[in-house]
Amino acid sequence: DGGITQSPKYLFRKEGQNVTLSCEQNLNHDAMYWYRQDPGQGLRLIYYSQIVNDFQKGDIAEGYSVSREKKESFPLTVTSAQKNPTAFYLCASSIRPRGFYNEQFFGPGTRLTVL
Amino acid sequence: AQTVTQSQPEMSVQEAETVTLSCTYDTSESNYYLFWYKQPPSRQMILVIRQEAYKQQNATENRFSVNFQKAAKSFSLKISDSQLGDTAMYFCAFFVNNNDMRFGAGTRLTVKP
């Protein structure tokens, strides 16, 4: 079955630690995205990637980093510089990059809690 | 600035009745796409309906329809014959270009038996 997987579903982190959230897709999509969701707010874009080895900052990139070494994978690292990392993180992908709209398909999300 | 406003944080409706969720947005662009996404308790985001701004006809998907008023920058979602499975957070969103997707804060809808 084609889709987007995120792991782990729940993640706990101690203050000062970096953690990496996994996002994999087998839809052969070119573009991938990371969003953060907080209570009472909509989704906010952290980073996006339109092609392998290229990525762009979204609205709230500070304290986060990403890589795109393979088309199907777009891991997100939450660094110790992120002051308030407790949130729900959603990964998405779409078939075409910049300049065209195509539907974004979402993964099931990862809930990150800082202890 | 491009923004999306959902003025109803929470709503409820009786099963089989009709409910309308409101959304307004602000953009200076003339061509864009509008969406309603559903996020049930599982937290999986599901696309409910899509509207292209250059199309005057309102989009419809089974029990879901929109009222798109471009001049007023309004994009409301009507759910007819509400079902228990419609209970979810609903997010209004719009896409302009260059991967700029903006989401509203969401409306929590509860369908009561």
Which among A42, A45, A108 is the nearest to B104, CB-wise? A42
Chain B residue closest in CA terms to A107: B44
Q: How many beta-carbon pairs under 8 angstroms link A with B?
A: 49
Instruction: Taking residues A74-89, report their average pLDDT.
Output: 94
B47 to A40: CB separation less than 8 angstroms, yes or no: no
Q: In the predicted model, is pLDDT for residue A97 greater than 80? A: no
Using CB atoms and an 8 Å cut-off, which of residues 57-96 of chain A contact chain B?
A: 88, 90, 92
Lowest mean pLDDT among B13-22, B36-45, B96-105: B96-105
Nearest to A63 by CA among A79, A44, A49: A79
Q: What is the pLDDT of residues B37-52, one digit of tens each?
A: 999 998 999 999 999 8
Candidates B3, B36, B38, B43: best to mutate against A (most CBs of A within 10 A) is: B43
Q: Does A13 touch chain B (CB under 8 A)?
A: no
Check whether A20 has a pLDDT greater than 90. Answer: yes
A26-62: per-residue pLDDT in tens? 999 999 999 999 988 889 999 999 889 999 999 899 9
How would you write chain B as a 3-class SS string? CCEEECCCCEEEEECCCCEEECCEEECCCCCCEEEEEEECCCCCCEEEEEEECCCCCCCEECCEEEEEECCCCEEEEEECCCCHHHCEEEEEEEECCCCCEEECCCEEEEEEC
CB A112 within 8 A of CB A78: yes
d(CA B103, CA B76): 14
Residue A98 above 70 pLDDT? no
